[in-house]
Amino acid sequence: MKFSALSSFPAHGLAVVIGAGGGIGSGFVARLEEAACFSRVIALSRSSTPALDLTDEASIAAAAAWCAKLGGEIRLVIDATGFLHGDGFEPEKSWRQLDPAHMAHSFAVNAIGPALLMKHFLPLLPRQGKAVFASLSAKVGSIGDNRLGGWYSYRASKAALNQLVHTAAIELKRSRPEAICVALHPGTVDTGLSGPFAKTGLDVQTPAQSTTSLLAALDQMTPADSGGFFDYRGDALPW
């Protein structure tokens, strides 16, 4: 069954998906193309043209400028990026495993990079009508919900992202009162990022299931939700 939501967005706008090469990012691209409510879906990643690398602000600025020149109003920007493990790094189980290089890379990709996306893409949102910037966070970034410990770098960098999103939403409201800036928890999704850590008994979703739910949640959001942290069902999560 094809996805057909997003009726709350003005017609014929542009949608931008950053991190489109990943499992969730590619899922967003597929769902948005099925919805057909946007005149164009722009998929950006390190391998796209133009290329966008979260650790290279010049590439972020160039990609944003390229999008701005396409014509049409950018109504939706989804940041589907994130780093949990790789290149010899695994989520820490104890403070004894803390590594400054691992922590720095986690913050570079999970917090600083998305902050730079907001710096360059939020000014492109229209001043009137619904427009959304949504960044993928994670429930483990919730301080109030942290009962298990561990995963220091990932938790802390996603908590930082949540603060950045909330702060940007306050500034965004001053110039674009109908725009929305939110952090989203996609659930446990069967992708290269979280799949290896999915435990038996968890509700593991496919990228198609998660992105369909996330877009349906965004479709229901209003400016009153801006600055919030929500799961894939649209339920608010504790900071």
For the chain, what is the mean pLDDT? 93
pLDDT, tens digit, 9 for 90 and up, residues 173-198: 999 999 999 999 999 988 765 555 55
4-13, 49-58, 171-180, 220-229: least confidently modelled range: 4-13
Q: What is the pLDDT of residues 78-95, one digit of tens each?
A: 999 999 988 788 999 999
Q: What is the 3-state secondary structure (H, E, C) of the chain?
A: CCCCCCCCCCCCEEEEEECCCCHHHHHHHHHHHHHCCEEEEEEECCCCCCCCCCCCHHHHHHHHHHHHCCCCCEEEEEECCCCCCECCECCCCCHHHCCHHHHHHHHHHHHHHHHHHHHHHHHHCCCCCCEEEEEECCHHHCCCCCCCCCCHHHHHHHHHHHHHHHHHHHHHHHHCCCEEEEEEECCEECCCCCHHHCCCCCCEECHHHHHHHHHHHHHHCCHHHCCCEEECCCCECCC
Q: How many domains does the chain have?
A: 1
Mean pLDDT, to the nearest integer, of 203-214?
Answer: 91
237 within some domain: no
Please tell me the predicted confidence (pLDDT) of residue 36.
82
State the pTM of this model: 0.93
Interval 134-161: pLDDT, tens: 999 999 999 999 999 999 999 999 999 9
Does residue 238 belong to any structural domain of this protein? no
Residue span of the structural domain in which 78 resides? 13-231
Q: What is the pLDDT of residue 103?
A: 96
pLDDT level of residue 98 (50, 70, 90 thresholds): very high
Domain membership flag for residue 1: no
The answer to whether position 5 is within a domain reads no
Residue 2's pLDDT is 59
Residue 221 maps to a domain: yes
What is the CATH number for 83? 3.40.50.720
In a domain, 186, yes or no: yes
Please report whether residue 103 resides in a domain. Answer: yes
In percent, how much of the chain has pLDDT > 70? Answer: 94
Q: Is residue 3 part of a domain?
A: no
